[in-house]
Amino acid sequence: MVGFAGYGVANLLAAALFVAWELPFVDRVIAAFAPGVAFLLVVRIARAIAGAEVIVFYQVAATGMVAAGLLDAAFGEQPARVADIVTIGIGAFLVLGRFGCFAVACCHGRPARFGIVYGDAHVAVGFWPRWRGRRLWPTQMIESAVSLALVVAGLAAGWSRPGLPALIYIVGYAPVRFALELVRGDWARPHRWGLSEAQWTAPVTAIACAIWRPHPVTVAVAAVLVIAAAMLVARRRRRELFEPPHLRDLDQSCAAAAHSQTRAETSLGVAVSRFQMPDGRIDWVLSSSHPRWSTATARRLAALMWPRYELVEGRLAGVVHVVVGDPRPPE
């Protein structure tokens, strides 16, 4: 419902801009329909490649903007204004769209000292049970607020300058989305070389803007994102154990170890065993062949997996015991 409301607001805003900026009929048709058609095509192609429907907002939004701009450059009269309307419309949709994400706990963040808490109702619709009741980064609300600010800034600064509203939104959104991906906690998203799909898209869009409108700001944002992406790729081995896909992998290994009472291992080489202690607590024994494995690594993993725990180093090097649960009260 919130998504449809966002779509309605975006269309009303686009209609108002059609009139205010006196767009010709062809430009209005392209701005109104090209993003939607591009969205459907991208989703269908992605589903054919991945075998399942995976919608990455940044991917489909960027595709819609490019499609509308190229079509209007070929058949319309004001491609810059079409880019403005499509971009601002998508930004307006995102403001409410992320409220929908917030409501159903998708696109959520990782554990944090402050933030939002999801409960049983969200677990029932797919939220990860291990993070139930824990404070998480409010990534959806941060992105919604940023999108609103960029829409307002783009319209205020670029009302009489075609192309500037789109430029402000795209260049402003790219670094924010890139950074938010570092604290996103949902795992079912494409990753490659230590970067999510959105983190690959961010520098690409920034570079495109720097080529379209060369300026110290656009060039600087593009350069910073390229450097940041290169650094994250270079450090991916240090980060991969703590990324959401591996945390889910570790969770599944814990479940397998509990079910079979044998040792289980993740795809990155973290082995886990489960033992019931006499006082009722659970002793999770962790070890790993990963080159970045250490007691500090194990402690960080434990903090992500269990809200309350006690970590004890094992007698063998590289082995740690994560003791979870409260001791039984004395009889």
pLDDT, tens digit, for every residue of 8-37? 898 899 899 999 988 889 888 888 888 878
Residue 241 lies in a domain: no
Instruction: Tell me the per-residue pLDDT of 165-190, one tens digit each, with 9 for 90 and over.
Output: 999 999 999 999 999 999 999 887 77
Q: Is residue 40 part of a domain?
A: yes
Q: In the prediction, which pLDDT does 121 show?
A: 92
- Residues 183 and 112 sit within 8 Å (Cβ to Cβ): yes
pLDDT in tens, 234-290: 998 889 999 999 999 999 999 999 888 888 999 999 999 999 888 889 999 999 989
Are 216 and 309 within one domain?
Answer: no
Give mean pLDDT, residues 126-147: 93
Residue 210 sits in the same domain as residue 286: no
| pLDDT confidence of residue 318 | 86
Please check whether residue 329 lies inside any domain of the structure: no
pLDDT in the model for residue 302: 93
Rounded mean pLDDT of 192-214? 91
Domain that holds residue 312: 263-324
Best CA proximity match to 276, nearest among 252, 258, 300: 258
Pair (219, 267) in one structural domain: no
Helix axes 197-212, 164-180, angle to 10 degrees: 150
Ramachandran quadrant class, 306 (left: phi over 0; alpha: psi -120 to 50; beta: rest): beta
Q: Are 206 and 277 in a shared domain?
A: no
Instruction: Give the count of beta carbons closer than 10 Å to the beta carbon of residue 322.
Output: 22
Which pTM does this prediction carry? Answer: 0.86
If you average pLDDT over residues 313-319, what whole number do you get? 86
Supply the mean pLDDT for the chain.
88
Q: How many whole angstroms from its chain centre is CA 190?
A: 10
Instruction: Categorise residue 115: left if φ over 0, alpha if ψ from -120 to 50, beta otherwise.
Output: left
What is the residue whose two structure tokens read 């790729």? Answer: 233
Confidence band (pLDDT; 50, 70, 90) for 330?
A: very low
Do 285 and 229 belong to one domain?
A: no
